Amino acid sequence: MTSQDPNPASAPATEQNTGNGAEPARQDPDRRTPCPWLAPAEQPLSEAFDLALLDLDGVVYLGPQAVDGAVPALGAAKDAGMRLAYVTNNAARPPQVVADHLRELGIPAEPSEVVTSAQVAASLLARRLPAGAGVLVVGGQGLRQALREEGLEPVEALSDGPQAVVQGFSPDLGWLQLAEGADAVRSGLFWMATNLDMTVPRATGPAPGNGTLVAAVRTAAGREPDQVAGKPDPAPFVETVRRLGSERPLVVGDRLDTDLEGARAARIPGLLVLTGVSGVPDLLTCPEHRRPTFLGADLSALAVPHPATTVRTRPEDEAPAGPDSPSGGVEATCREAQVVVGTCAGGTVRAEVVRPGEDALDLLRAACSAVWAWNDSARTASRSRRRVDTSEISTVLERQTQGAPWSR
Ligand SMILES: [Mg+2]
């Protein structure tokens, strides 16, 4: 078994989480259960899965430049038999332009392997509107082309008589387009947003994304978009899997709130790479519906097997490792790495590194499993859900990776 149902029903067995409200039964103190979120893969992911549904910004490239190591990693994945498709919330550029950009970077790609949120939005609009209907575009060329391909007519002004409004990211979007969009939305037209990403990653750091531009229109028009087409809606993944006929797809993304949430919604395993927006602190506090199945520093994670992570509930009377160490709580192990989360003397809840292990990613897997298990059990327990202090995890990860950017 190389993948798991990404929406497992079971949480790790803990004394607080028996599920039936009855007095919890005493469990074997040595009993370990697999982490219900992170899965092992005995083969490299590029062999275990037949199609990678890759996000672009923050995964394959950052602005015009390829992410370090992405080009050889994708070449190796392809050589191992994995097909590659690109599923992006960025609506600015048509698939042909994206494919040309990928080829310039040295990644062979066809326009048919690129699915943009502009295409998904246009396809959804075409199902609601008569053929040839005008749609006011608050966005760029990618949106206009996607509408035409679906038999709809992009228009620029409310006076052109549009029957809907579509809004997607464009670096050339100006105030006049936002103002026209706000007038059209306020008039009551159906309003489709391609996505609500609040930021787009650039080499210099996060920049305002479509979510901020949608917020500008929402503020002026006084209402929410009627529909959002892109990730985390599962539609882009489901559509790409159907189009390419995959049986074992894998989502690969850098954002928990779009890529990985969309993967869970589509019931497809997801690999989080730490080259873009979401970082270690986001991951450790990640809610259930956004948790990844696999973790990688970057796309080289496609070329390797992934180890199992197990969770154990520690009896309250088990001796803590030291005077400041947590007692009881949960312990997670990934190969040599081990992390405990529990309440310390004084009442603080802390994640403690018992053993860092050889591989910093193993430590991160163990830390995620322990913190998630603690948070999940705290939700159903009578005890209050205190925020877990994970500062020791961050310190040890940075030391172990000699300050690699992904560890922060
Ligand atoms: Mg991204």
Give per-residue pLDDT as tens, 4-55: 444 433 333 333 333 344 444 556 778 899 999 999 999 999 999 999 999 9
Among 69, 70, 45, 72, CA closest to 60: 70
Beta strands (DSSP E) in 291-398 are: 294-296, 309-313, 327-334, 337-343, 349-355
Predicted confidence band at 98 (pLDDT cuts at 50, 70, 90)?
very high
Q: How far is the CA of 278 from the centre of ligand 1 (A)?
A: 9
Q: What is the pLDDT of residue 322?
A: 81
Predicted confidence band at 263 (pLDDT cuts at 50, 70, 90)?
very high
Which residue among the candidates 28, 30, 50, 55 is catalytic per the annotation? Answer: 55
- What is the Cα–Cα distance from 345 to 23, expressed in whole angstroms? 26
Specify whether the CB–CB gap between 363 and 400 falls below 8 A: yes
Q: What is the 3-state secondary structure (H, E, C) of 12-48?
A: CCCCCCCCCCCCCCCCCCCCEEECCCCCCECCCHHHH
Close Cβ partners of 55 (under 8 Å, ≥ 6 residues apart): 86, 87, 88, 89, 231, 251, 252, 253, 254, 255, 258, 259, 276
Q: What is the pLDDT of residue 22?
A: 44
Q: What is the pLDDT of residue 75?
A: 96
Tokens of 273: 């790479």
Active site residue 57: yes
Q: How far is the CA of 276 from the centre of ligand 1 (A)?
A: 6
Active site residue 376: no
Residue range 361-386: mean pLDDT, rounded:
86
CB under 5 Å of ion ligand 1: residues: 55, 57-58, 254, 276
Exposure string for 136-153, b = 16+ CB within 10 A, e = fewer: bbbbbbbbbbbbeebebb
Give per-residue pLDDT as tens, 226-261: 999 999 999 999 989 988 899 999 999 999 999 999
Among 163, 154, 227, CA closest to 193: 227
Q: How far is the CA of 43 from the centre of ligand 1 (A)?
A: 26
Q: How far is the CA of 84 from the centre of ligand 1 (A)?
A: 16
Chain mean position to CA 326:
31
CA distances from 63 to 58, 60, 72, 140 (A): 9, 10, 18, 17
Give per-residue pLDDT as tens, 179-193: 999 999 999 999 999
Residue ranges and CATH numbers for the domains of the chain are: 32-40+307-407 (no CATH), 45-89+232-302 (3.40.50.1000), 117-228 (3.40.50.1000)
Give per-residue pLDDT as tens, 74-89: 999 999 999 999 999 8
Tokens of 128: 């609601």
Specify whether the CB–CB gap between 327 and 318 falls below 8 A: yes
User: Phi first, then psi: what are they for 335, rounded to 5°?
Assistant: 50, -120
Q: What is the pLDDT of residue 385?
A: 64
Phi-psi region of 161 (alpha: psi -120 to 50; beta: other; left: phi over 0): left
Q: How far is the CA of 281 from the centre of ligand 1 (A)?
A: 17
Chain mean position to CA 37:
14
Q: What is the pLDDT of residue 323?
A: 80
